[in-house]
Amino acid sequence: MAETASTNADMKARALNGADEGLWLRAEKQSGGIGRLGRKWESPEGNLYCSTMVMCRTEDPQPSTLSFVAALAVHKAINAHVPHDDIRLKWPNDILVSGHKICGILLERSGEAVVVGIGVNIAVAPQVEGRIVTSLHKEGAEAGLTAASFLETLAQYFADAVKEWRQSGLPAILTAWQERAHPLGTRLSTSDEKGNRLEGEYAGLSDQGALRLRKADGALIEIHAGDVDVG
């Protein structure tokens, strides 16, 4: 579609109306895109704005862990198009190239479906307050790469990752995620539920995907939600 308020909103409506798993929606522009914690997602033309959905099954891992599935798929798709050694995953669902944000992922529930919204900066790196962002073209992607052609790559990697998530379970997904994340011991900072600043070293993920942070006194704590800064 040329323009919509939000591909996630459109996909949620389709999910409630019985759409099949595997459907993708893509818009050239969004007028009401949102990111995590309700933040506005800038949507200039030339970038990828898309949504898909996964139907929840009783034997599946926790639906929230689809964020790791989506991040892995995006990482692999970027790696297929950008000759770059510094493509990293950052908890909970960021993808960084050269240390700069290039993607946003948002999961929303719609009945028995989880809608997965993905935005990737293909041609344009919009200005975002408090963040340095980049785009695939800026990082060396082929000049002919478009949002539509990138989605073809992404959709296949996403389908493969969902299949592994179901067949091999969450541990396989978390292992693959950690192989593409910042190294153990990387200095991280975040905030707890009361807004208190927490600093420490990255100590991997729990078996359910929580971030493990080792504080200066050696205490190991788990972070289940929030924004994380590197360094």
Closest CA to 118 of 158, 80, 146: 158
Averaged over 106-114, what is the pLDDT? 95
According to the model, what pLDDT value does residue 131 have?
Answer: 78
**Does residue 190 surpass a pLDDT of 50?**
yes
Asked if 10 and 51 touch (Cβ cutoff 8 Å), the reply is yes
According to the model, what pLDDT value does residue 108 have?
Answer: 96
Sign of CA dihedral 56, 177, 171, 204: negative
> What is the rounded distance in angstroms from the CA atom of residue 143 to the CA atom of residue 141?
6
pTM summary value = 0.92
Averaged over 184-209, what is the pLDDT? 90
C-alpha pair distances (Å), 33 with each of 6, 46, 51, 95: 5, 15, 11, 18
Q: What is the mean pLDDT of the chain?
A: 91
> What is the rounded distance in angstroms from the CA atom of residue 126 to the CA atom of residue 229?
20
Residue 204's φ and ψ, nearest 5 degrees, are: 90, -165
According to the model, what pLDDT value does residue 37 have?
Answer: 45
Closest CA to 52 of 90, 86, 95, 19: 19
**Does residue 41 surpass a pLDDT of 60?**
no
According to the model, what pLDDT value does residue 42 have?
Answer: 58
C-alpha pair distances (Å), 193 with each of 197, 212, 227: 10, 16, 11
Task: For residue range 70-86, list pLDDT tens digits in order.
Answer: 999 999 999 999 977 89
According to the model, what pLDDT value does residue 40 have?
Answer: 57
> What is the rounded distance in angstroms from the CA atom of residue 32 to the CA atom of residue 9?
9
